[in-house]
Amino acid sequence: MEAVNNKRMVILLCISIITVIVATASVTYAYLSVGVEQKEANVLSSACFNITFSNENNKIDYIGYPMSEKTGLGKTPYSFTITNTCDTSNNYKLLLNVFSSSSSELLKYIRFTIDDNTVRQIDESLTTINLPSSFTNGKDSFTSYVLLNGVQIDGTTGSNTKIHNLRIWIDEGAGNEIMEEVFKAQVSVYSGDEPAS
């Protein structure tokens, strides 16, 4: 019986020692751990791109008539210059934000060129991205079509400026159903990761 009592005492002693070690380690960890809480807001800003429009602004309110490709290519473009003001290379996407107040009937007849004479159409072949709601400033919503992707401006050399020319017109194949329809869009430059949907 004494052997059983000795065995119980040894087990009880081991459990007591383990309990003391665990308690000491926990108290020591809690005492030595440092907790820091940030009180100020994080502020991020980027001033790497300066955009200058040859027109008054980046808004496109187009009310026109159908025209041939040759006439459309001869139109005066919406011209704008993008300058990288930082001393690093930066990539950006050139977007055409088509406002929801634009006619969906008219949209399928809109043709455009950007920087060359390759005529393109605003349709499902263009990539769209979802931009933060701050881009709309609480106004009309829009769909953002990527006109150019991954354009790089090197701020470390003298070639830190890109000039873009955007021509927009209504294709001559449009019928009478588009008469008095309005196309509203906005040119935007977006740099950074694509927002999550």
Per-residue pLDDT of 43-97, as tens digits, reads 444 556 666 666 655 556 565 778 889 988 888 888 888 877 777 777 788 888 8
Contact between 96 and 145 under an 8 Å Cβ cutoff? The reply is yes
Identify whether 158 is part of a domain. Answer: yes
Identify whether 29 is part of a domain. Answer: yes
* pTM assigned to the model: 0.64
Structure tokens at 118: 């390759």
Is residue 99 located within the same domain as residue 159?
A: yes
Contact between 130 and 154 under an 8 Å Cβ cutoff? The reply is no
- Please, which residues bridge with residue 112 across strands? 120, 168
Is residue 107 located within the same domain as residue 19?
A: no
Is residue 17 located within the same domain as residue 113?
A: no
Which residue matches tokens 């829009």? Answer: 142
Domain that holds residue 85: 49-190
**CA dihedral defined by 43, 47, 49, 54, rounded to 10 degrees?**
110
